[in-house]
Amino acid sequence: MNKREIGKSGLYASELGLGCMSIGIEEKQAETLLKTAFDEGITYFDTADLYDFGVNEQLVGKTLRAVRDEVVIATKAGNRWTDSKDSWTWDASKAYIKEAAKQSLKRLGIDYIDLYQLHGGTLEDPIDETIEAFEELKAEGFIRAYGISSIRPTVINEYVKRSNLSNVMMQYSILDRRPEVQALPILTENGVTVAARGPIAFGLLSSHWRIRLAKASKKGLSWYKEPELERTLSTIESSLPEGRTLNGLAFRYVLGHPAAATVVAGASSVEQLKENARAVQEAPLTEEEYKWIQDISKTADYDAHRL
């Protein structure tokens, strides 16, 4: 599987990354999925301290320790579980970010985190203080690079202007092209890459899209009315170029943008994981294919994510 550099960090991610939130908490199943991913050529693994109260980090670290030097482990911080564990609060303070990194390292059982990310963010955060935390963690050898996970263009712009971040994780797909206007241009200009989550748009950009369609309006695609979404998907599916599958087209479209480093997809079964690994290795899109998709799909605005 091809690899791409994450920003200017010297770290290289496989074009397909595994979103580890989907691996569950049963150790044997999680281990099977993680090992299969590695065997399929996936070397980028995304987790977070929020997932399963830290259990996800423990499973990822335990399984991948044997191939530590061959993988990129990305995790996130900023959300703090309450004592009752029924909700969480937001904390982007320097003290918390630095302590959270050390706790993640303990759960992962590793000496350093490859890519450490702020798990959200708003303009009301102490952004300079947060950046200081990341820079100090990097200088101290606890992390190799840092970034943010955000869909807020205003927040992304501030971090690009004020920090040395390497990567932004954001939702991006054929059906969610919002980043193309308000985020990707500034990232490309500054050498910051994207780890795209949701590249298959909640399963809509797969052969199972008809089953998934009824749930789409609840899944963050409100700029499409259901009949319009159905027409778009039907048109794409019925006009697929020879040698293309719908999920392969979805992956290659996102990877066609110069800012893209990796597409991060979850997988809850070995079969799904192997299909994703196959699909991402379809040929890059031609210019004609890329333009065809853009003509069929639509862009939208981040109206609800200004702060």
Single out the catalytic residue among 12, 44, 51, 302: 51
* Cα separation, 149 vs 55, whole angstroms: 20
List own/partner pairs for 26-32 with CB under 8 A and 24 or more apart.
27/59, 30/59, 30/63, 31/59, 31/62, 31/63, 32/270
Residue 264 and residue 199 in contact, taking contact as beta carbons nearer than 8 Å:
yes
51 catalytic residue (yes or no) = yes
* Cα separation, 56 vs 173, whole angstroms: 25
Rg, Å, the chain Cα set: 19
Catalytic machinery residues: 51
